[in-house]
């Protein structure tokens, strides 16, 4: 195997977050339409990273992780493969019905796990594990077992680790859910998008309400600690009445958690979206309006906001963690407990170790090539400065705790305090002398509230 510390000769890939978002929903447009986009759970945002030598930067960070063998880790594993591509999809995934393609992908993933483990030196304990996609339950039983075996070969996966997996309800069965639970996954999240047949036809993803309800019930009966459903806000044809009907149906289905996502429309990057009709002028505001509508409806139905579009029922462990000050926002949602270095596996995955952020090569073929050459596939990295770390901590706290203590922001960032505090006029925050508190209405606008933090982290070289 080649030296994993060898810097790759090619240019560092430039990666930018998804740009515009497009809906056709006929929802009330807010008076001051914003275009916040999604806020990545890291600051600075990946488009701002500027390490000249990403791989050596990341290798030095991994050496630091290796020097702390008693500390638990978090890992995220990406499986960008689906049975078919939904028209609205804004992910870099490949549609395949070929089991050997899955095996080849797992071969590369195993190399990446092995390379990381060889640098870390010991079989490190996992605090958190997320397997996302794509469609992880595209894998057959043997492939799922193989994936878990390889993870456990390199990491200790205790039964109480926060472990979660994304699934497509159209591919799940009671037997598969029982297997996933037996393999050690504690939390399960189903993709869904919308339950209205008209919206489904426009977005290219068909699944009946009965199928989704049966999948959620089966997962709950299989013993998962939580079962979540994803709702996409701002899909074409998703007017107020249809969205309200879907939200009502969701209540009856009764998932433990619901994740509201904003529709992202970028047909230049995702050609399948050319089939999705939209009005580019009003789309961002309409997506935001749909999201805010869903946030209000879910809160009225008893689902409480966490952050990043997550809504949970009363008694959820995330709410208990928030009450005790132990709720953590991490790259794949929320968790209770201590902060952890996070390693991402798969094309485009983000890692965070100490003050260093890194991102893998996003193109699957190139990611695989690097691994088959025995090289870690990191192509972008960034060493966070003190100011950036402060901004990142403030954003995490805002999303997880729905407040911004003045002390957390610190000196020199008064303009940010004022900019976020100005949303008191929208009813999104309440001002107190020592903190800004996000209101119930403001919980549907966390990305907009965080925008001054994101913007300030985009120019870290200027003094605070
Ligand atoms: S929306 Fe989800 S299931 Fe559909 S193609 Fe994209 S990743 Fe796959």
Q: What mean pLDDT do residues 352-378 have?
A: 95
In terms of residue numbers, what domain contains 399? 386-459
Lowest mean pLDDT among 46-50, 91-95, 109-113, 389-393: 46-50
Q: Ligand 1 centroid vs 229 CA: distance in angstroms?
A: 14
Q: What is the pLDDT of residue 15?
A: 25
Tell me: the pLDDT tens digits for 123-145?
Answer: 999 999 999 989 999 999 999 99
Is 193 inside any structural domain? yes
pLDDT in tens, 271-291: 888 888 776 656 778 888 999
User: Residue 232 C-alpha to ligand 1 middle, in angstroms?
Assistant: 12
Q: Rounded to an integer, what distance in angstroms lies between the CA atom of residue 328 and that of residue 347?
A: 25
Q: For ligand 1, atom 2, name the residue with the nearest CA.
A: 134
Give the CATH number for residue 441. Answer: 1.10.10.920
List the beta strands (DSSP E) in 309-369. Answer: 310-313, 327-330, 333-336, 341-345, 350-353, 356-360
Do 331 and 392 have their domain in common? no
Distance 286 CA to ligand 1 centre (A): 22
Give the ranges where 67-187 is alpha helix by DSSP (H).
99-120, 141-154, 174-183
Tell me, yes or no, whether 138 and 51 share the same domain. yes
CATH code of 117's domain: 3.80.30.20
According to the model, what pLDDT value does residue 425 have?
A: 97
278 and 411 in a common domain:
no
Q: Are residues 158 and 301 in the same domain?
A: yes
**C-alpha torsion 83→85→88→92, nearest 10:** 100
The total domain count for the chain is 2
Mean pLDDT of the chain: 88
Position 99 scores a pLDDT of 86
Q: For residues 201 and 329, state if they share a domain.
A: yes
Q: Whose CA is nearest to atom 6 of ligand 1?
A: 89
The ligand 1 atom at the shortest distance from the C-alpha of residue 95 is 5
Whether the per-residue pLDDT at 267 is higher than 60: the answer is: yes
Q: How far is the CA of 274 from the centre of ligand 1 (A)?
A: 16
pLDDT digits (tens, 9 = 90+) for 433-447: 999 999 999 998 998
Structural domain contains residue 374: no
Q: What pLDDT, on a 0 to 100 scale, did the predictor assign at position 232?
A: 95
Pick the residue whose CA is nearest to atom 4 on ligand 1. Answer: 86
Question: What is the 8-class DSSP label of residue 87?
Answer: T
Q: Pick the atom of ligand 1 nearest to 134's CA.
A: 7
> Model confidence over 208-262: pLDDT tens digits?
999 999 999 999 999 999 999 999 999 988 999 999 999 999 999 999 999 999 9
Give the domain-ending residue among 300, 317, 336.
336
Q: State yes or no: pLDDT of 8 exceeds 50.
A: no
What residue has token string 């009445």? 241
> Within this chain, do residues 110 and 219 fall inside the same structural domain, yes or no?
yes
Lowest pLDDT segment from 69-83, 189-203, 258-272: 258-272
Ligand 1 centroid vs 102 CA: distance in angstroms?
16
85 CA: nearest ligand 1 atom: 5
What order do you get walking across the sheet with 435-438 strand by strand? Answer: 403-405, 435-438, 429-431
Point out the ligand 1 atom lying closest to the alpha carbon of residue 82. Answer: 8
Same structural domain for residues 101 and 245? yes
Q: Is residue 362 part of a domain?
A: no
Q: What is the pLDDT of residues 300-359, one digit of tens each?
A: 999 999 999 999 999 999 999 999 999 999 999 999 988 899 999 999 999 999 999 999
How much of the chain exceeds pLDDT 70, in percent?
89
pLDDT at residue 1 is higher than 80:
no
Give 279's Cβ-side CA count (13 Å radius).
10
Å from CA of 403 to ligand 1 middle? 33
Atom of ligand 1 at shortest range from CA of 193: 1
Same domain, 117 and 244: yes
pLDDT at residue 199 is higher than 80:
yes
User: How far is ligand 1, taken at its centre, from the CA of residue 375, in Å?
Assistant: 29
- Within a domain: 28: no
- How far, in Å, is the centroid of ligand 1 from the Cα of 93? 7
Q: Hey, which of 18, 85, 131, 202 would you mutate to test ligand 1's pocket, going by the most ligand atoms within 8 Å of its Cβ?
A: 85
All residues at 6 or more sequence positions from 226 whose CB lies less than 8 Å from its CB, including other chains: 186, 187, 188, 256, 257, 312, 316, 317
Pocket, ligand 1, Cβ cutoff 6 A: 82, 85-86, 89, 91, 93, 133-135, 168, 191
109 or 3: which leads in pLDDT: 109
Query: What integer pLDDT is reported at residue 342 of this predicted model?
Result: 97
**59 in any annotated domain:** yes
Cβ pair 209, 174 in contact under 8 A = no
93 and 201 share a domain? yes
Question: Ligand 1 centroid vs 364 CA: distance in angstroms?
Answer: 16
- The yes-or-no verdict on residue 265 having pLDDT over 80 is yes
In the prediction, which pLDDT does 31 show? 28
In a domain, 192, yes or no: yes
The 10s digit of each residue's pLDDT in 11-37 is 332 222 222 322 333 333 332 222 334
Residue closest by Cα to atom 7 of ligand 1: 134
């Amino acid at each position: 195997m080649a030296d994993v510390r060898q810097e790759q000769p090619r240019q560092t890939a430039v990666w930018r977050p998804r740009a515009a978002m497009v809906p056709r929903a006929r929802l009330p447009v807010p008076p001051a339409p914003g275009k916040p986009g999604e806020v990545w759970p890291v600051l600075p945002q990946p488009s701002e990273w500027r390490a000249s030598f990403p791989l050596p930067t990341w290798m030095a960070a991994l050496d630091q992780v290796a020097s702390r063998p008693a500390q638990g880790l978090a890992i995220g594993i990406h499986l960008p493969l689906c049975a078919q591509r939904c028209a609205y999809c804004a992910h870099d995934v490949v549609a395949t019905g070929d089991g050997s393609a899955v095996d080849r992908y797992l071969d590369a993933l195993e190399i990446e796990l092995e390379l990381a483990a060889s640098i870390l030196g010991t079989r490190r304990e996992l605090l958190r594990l997320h397997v996302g996609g794509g469609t992880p339950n595209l894998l057959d039983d043997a492939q799922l077992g193989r994936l878990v075996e390889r993870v456990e070969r390199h990491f200790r996966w205790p039964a109480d680790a926060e472990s979660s997996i994304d699934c497509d309800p159209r591919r799940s069965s009671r037997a598969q859910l029982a297997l996933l639970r037996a393999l050690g996954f504690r939390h399960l999240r189903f993709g869904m998008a919308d339950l209205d047949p008209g919206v489904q036809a426009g977005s290219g993803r068909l699944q009946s309400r009965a199928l989704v309800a049966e999948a959620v019930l089966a997962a709950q009966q299989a013993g998962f600690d939580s079962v979540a459903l994803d709702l996409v806000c701002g899909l074409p044809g998703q007017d107020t009445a249809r969205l309200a009907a879907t939200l009502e149906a969701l209540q009856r289905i009764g998932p433990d958690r619901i994740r509201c996502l904003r529709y992202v429309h970028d047909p230049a990057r995702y050609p399948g979206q050319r089939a999705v009709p939209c009005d580019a002028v009003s789309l961002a505001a309409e997506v935001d309006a749909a999201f805010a509508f869903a946030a209000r409806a879910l809160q009225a139905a008893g689902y409480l906001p966490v952050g990043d579009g997550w809504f949970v029922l009363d008694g959820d462990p995330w709410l208990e963690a928030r009450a005790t000050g132990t709720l953590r926002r991490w790259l794949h949602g929320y968790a209770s407990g201590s902060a952890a270095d996070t390693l991402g596996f798969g094309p485009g995955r983000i890692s965070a170790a100490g003050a260093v952020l890194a991102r893998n090569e996003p193109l699957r073929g190139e990611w695989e090539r690097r691994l088959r050459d025995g090289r870690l596939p990191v192509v972008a990295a960034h060493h966070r400065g003190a100011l950036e770390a402060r901004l990142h901590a403030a954003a995490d706290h805002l999303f997880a705790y729905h407040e911004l203590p003045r002390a957390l922001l610190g000196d020199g960032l008064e303009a940010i305090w004022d900019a976020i505090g100005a949303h008191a006029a929208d009813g999104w925050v309440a001002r107190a002398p020592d903190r800004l508190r996000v209101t119930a209405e403001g919980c549907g606008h966390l990305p907009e509230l965080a925008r001054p933090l994101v913007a300030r982290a985009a120019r870290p070289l200027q003094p605070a």
